[in-house]
Amino acid sequence: MIELPWLLPGSSQFPPTANALEDPNGLLAAGGDLEPDTLLTAYRLGIFPWFDESQPILWWSPSPRAVIIPGEEHLSRSLKKHIRRSDQEIRCNTAFAEVMLACAEPRAEDEGSWITEDMVDAYIELHELGHAHSVETWHEGTLVGGLYGLKVGSVFFGESMFSRQSNASKYAFATLCQIARELGIGLIDCQVHNSHLESLGSQDIERPAFETLLQELTSKPTSQQFPQGRHLSEF
DSSP per-residue codes, 21-32: -TTTTTEEEEE-
Residues 181, 154 within the same domain: yes
pLDDT for residue 111:
52
Same domain, 131 and 33: no
Please check the confidence at residue 152 and state whether its pLDDT lies above 50. Answer: yes
Q: If you average pLDDT over residues 58-77, what whole number do you get?
A: 95
51 & 105 share domain? no
* Mean of the per-residue pLDDT values of the chain: 93
Give me the CATH number covering residue 21: 3.30.70.3550
Query: Same domain for 136 and 177?
Result: yes
Q: Establish if 93 belongs to a structural domain.
A: yes
Over range 114-121, report the average pLDDT. 93
Query: From CA 121, how far away is CA 204, in angstroms rounded?
Result: 31
Q: Are 189 and 62 in contact (CB under 8 A)?
A: no
pLDDT confidence bin for 75, thresholds 50/70/90: confident
| Domains held by the chain: number | 2
- Verify that 39 and 137 share a domain, yes or no: no
Range of the domain at 10: 6-62
> Has this prediction a pTM greater than 0.85?
yes
Segments in 5-136 forming alpha helices (H): 36-44, 77-85, 96-104, 117-128
Q: What angle do CA 226, 232, 233 make, to 5 degrees?
A: 90
